[in-house]
Structures are given as structure tokens and as C-alpha cells.
């Protein structure tokens, strides 16, 4: 008895009406569209300090970052940022607005980073975090920040720290995200 189930998307081809190679099923024509991953996170403050998490996972284990991670299916970007803060910093946050939309084509990511405040000032290390701390601006360990986009978000946070309304930022000039 032979297996008559479809083989699935196994060959690379340019589908009709498209302009790039994709994985296509030779039996049924199904096209497997691969799309960028969306990362959501927040620059979280308490009084005049910013919450940073020292990563307990790779990549960049041991470096400081903001609470952020991949958005899950069936959640809003804001809910994802709040979930990431709960998972990585065991804290509840209130989101004020979108700081920036950063594109990192080298790793096919779009990052949505929000401005938020800790609801009650309490936090603790989650499973992906080895240590947390609140930093005044001049205390931020800039040489130990995990990713360039965290640098961008922190600097953009500072630009809108006292604003009530602002336009979201994008990648800084000259930073195409292919670092």
C-alpha cells in the first residue's frame, strides 16, 4: 500500500504572480509564506529609573535588556509586551504609548517597543532573567546592553520621557538593522 498523502511544500519556486522564491508543494500548489517575527517589549520606568533585566538565556546571556520577546498568536502587541514583562520581570506594567518600530532585516524581525511604567514598583527575576535592577539614566551599563535596538529604545524613551503625545520612532539614521 502506498502513502497517498501530499508531500507538502518541498521545492523552492517562484509562484505565479509572485516575485521571489518560496517553498511550494508540487502536489497541491500550497505556498509556505515565511514572514518576519514580531518582537514586543517595553522600556519600563519607576519614578526616574528604568528597569533592566540581565539575560539568563542566549543570545547575549549575561547582558542587560528590556523585557521583550516574541509576540504570540492571538494576542495584541500591547498584551504581548505586558506578558513579556510578567514573564521576565514578574511585574505588571501600564503602557503609555509606542516608542518605536524597529526593523532588523538580518534576522527578519520587526520590534514594537512601548513606553510603560511599573504599576506598583515590585519585580522579580523570571525564568529567562538572572538579575533585575532599576537604573537612573546615568547608571545604565551601556557597554553591557544586549542589542543595538535596546540602545535605540532607551535613547528614544529618554526623548519622550516627559511627553504626553509623540510619534513613534524608527531605526536611527544610518542604522539599517543589518548589524
Question: Phi/psi of residue 31, each to 5°?
Answer: -110, 125
Note the pLDDT of residue 176: 84
Tell me, what's the pLDDT at 178?
A: 78
What's the pLDDT score for residue 29? 87
Q: What is the pLDDT of residue 1?
A: 45
d(CA 22, CA 93): 40
pLDDT in 10s for each residue of the chain, 179 residues = 445 555 677 899 999 899 999 999 988 889 999 999 999 999 999 999 999 999 999 999 999 999 999 999 999 999 999 999 999 999 999 999 999 999 999 999 999 999 999 999 999 999 999 999 999 999 999 999 999 999 999 999 999 999 999 999 999 999 987 76
What is the structure's pLDDT at 92?
A: 98
Domains of the chain: 1-34 (2.20.70), 37-160 (3.90.79.10)
Distance, in Å, from the CA atom of 7 to the CA atom of 3, rounded to the nearest integer, reads 10
Task: List CB contacts of 71: < 8 A, sequence separation 6 or more.
Answer: 37, 38, 39, 40, 77, 80, 112
Look at residue 3 in the predicted model and tell me its pLDDT: 52
Amino acid at each position: 500500500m502506498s502513502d497517498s498523502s501530499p508531500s507538502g511544500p518541498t521545492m523552492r519556486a517562484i509562484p505565479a504572480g509572485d516575485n521571489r522564491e518560496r517553498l511550494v508543494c508540487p502536489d497541491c500548489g500550497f505556498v509556505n509564506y515565511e514572514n518576519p517575527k514580531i518582537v514586543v517589549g517595553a522600556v519600563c520606568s519607576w519614578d526616574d529609573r528604568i528597569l533592566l533585566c540581565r539575560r539568563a538565556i542566549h543570545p547575549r546571556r549575561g547582558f542587560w535588556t528590556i523585557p521583550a520577546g516574541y509576540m504570540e498568536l492571538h494576542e495584541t502587541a500591547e498584551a504581548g509586551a505586558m506578558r513579556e514583562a510578567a514573564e521576565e520581570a514578574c511585574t505588571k506594567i501600564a503602557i503609555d504609548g509606542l516608542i518605536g518600530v524597529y526593523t532588523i532585516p538580518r534576522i527578519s524581525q520587526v520590534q514594537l517597543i512601548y513606553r510603560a511604567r511599573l504599576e506598583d514598583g515590585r519585580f522579580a527575576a523570571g525564568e529567562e532573567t538572572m538579575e533585575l535592577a532599576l537604573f537612573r539614566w546615568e547608571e545604565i551599563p551601556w557597554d553591557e546592553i544586549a542589542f543595538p535596538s535596546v540602545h535605540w529604545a532607551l535613547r528614544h524613551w529618554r526623548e519622550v520621557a516627559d511627553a504626553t503625545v509623540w510619534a513613534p520612532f524608527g531605526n536611527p539614521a544610518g542604522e539599517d538593522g543589518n548589524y
